[in-house]
Amino acid sequence: MTASVKQLRKSLKGSSPGLSHERAHWESGVQFVAGLDEVGKGSWAGPLTVGAAVVPKDRRIYKVRDSKMLSAAEREAMFDRIANWCEAWAVGHASPAECDDLGMSDAQRLAAQRCLDSLRGQLGGAEIGVALVDGKWDFVGGGRGKTIVRGEQVSLSIAAASILAKVTRDRMMRELAEEFPGYWLAENKGYPCHRHQAALQFQGPSTIHRRSWAFMDSLAWRGLARYVPESDQGTLFL
């Protein structure tokens, strides 16, 4: 059963993202334009996730906002509506181990590529012509990535992607919380907080923690040293 979407809070009513960026590329002859957004980059545990949404040209949806502006309940209520509205959507992940081995930049590129590969399969092998990317860094590359600062607030496809990515990853973290109790993952979703830090001090990192990160150096628990990728052996972490 799809959750109902309540009336928007007053603070959100004047902040609706639009389709001006998408429309400019459609009018120039691009068939498929996707909005992309990332979640989990600053987390201590869990995957880095990239979401993508290809939105229809002739059907609008209301109440979509930047995922960070919505509560968890509001995002959950919007998820199925957005998923059913999109022409195609996908989410790609880079695992904690891949974040450690590749570094965050390459891990984000990998998650984006997996996401776009899934979109291509849904679109019968057609490629995304333009990828609208939230922020200042083009993690898609190949000449098709177009960065938009505060993209979640102005581009409807990026805002949709942000909700799809955030809800998918949050659901994954709630499931992982049952497998890895004691880290409060259902509440913090793997991000830094006092409870998460205290759990790490007491019981050390799990297999879903990013062990190359600096938080490892401050742990009183010394059962496992900070992980150094093979490509960085001999390099001093600052």
Confidence band, pLDDT 50/70/90 cuts, at residue 215: confident
CATH number at residue 126: 3.30.420.10
Matching residue, tokens 């949050």: 170
| pLDDT above 90 coverage of the chain, percent | 78
Q: Looking at the 3D structure of the chain, how many domains does it have?
A: 2
pLDDT digits (tens, 9 = 90+) for 124-155: 999 999 999 999 999 999 999 999 999 999 99
Residue 191 belongs to a domain: yes
Residues 134 and 198 in one domain: no
Clarify whether residues 135 and 218 are in a common domain.
Answer: no
Mean pLDDT of all residues in the chain? Answer: 91
- Which tokens sit at 173? 């973290």
For 194, the domain range is 177-229
Could you tell me which residue, 235 or 180, shows the higher pLDDT? 180
For residues 2 and 30, the model is more confident at 30
In this structure, the answer to whether residues 205 and 105 fall within a common structural domain is no
In a domain, 10, yes or no: no
End-to-end alpha-carbon separation of the chain, Å? 50
Q: What is the pLDDT of residue 14?
A: 59
Assign 131 to helix, strand or coil: strand
Cβ atoms within 10 A of the Cβ of 173, count?
Answer: 24
Average pLDDT score over residue span 113-119? 98
**Is 172 found in the same domain as 85?**
yes
Q: Which of 35, 39, 40 is nearest to 52 (CA)?
A: 35
pLDDT at residue 118 tops 80: yes
Which tops the pLDDT comparison, 55 or 16?
55
How many Cα atoms are found within 13 Å in the side-chain-facing hemisphere of 52? 29
List pLDDT tens digits, range 156-200.
999 999 999 999 999 999 999 999 999 999 999 999 999 999 999
- Say what angle helices 156-179 and 72-85 make with each other, to 10 degrees: 120
Q: Which residue has the higher pLDDT, 12 or 42?
A: 42
State whether 87 and 151 are in the same domain: yes
Going by C-alpha positions, the residue among 4, 162, 190 that lies closest to residue 69 is: 162
- pLDDT at residue 234 greater than cutoff 90: no
Helix or strand holding residue 73 (H, E): helix 72-85
Neighbours of 216 (CB within 10 A): 21
Predicted confidence band of residue 92 (pLDDT cuts 50, 70, 90) = very high
d(CA 145, CA 42): 22
Q: How are beta strands 145-148 and 130-134 bridged, if at all?
A: parallel
Q: Give the tens place of pLDDT for each residue, 5-35.
A: 566 555 555 568 999 999 999 999 999 999 9
Which pLDDT score, from 0 to 100, does residue 4 have? Answer: 58
- Domain-embedded: residue 79: yes
Give the rounded percent of residues in the chain with a pLDDT score beyond 70.
89
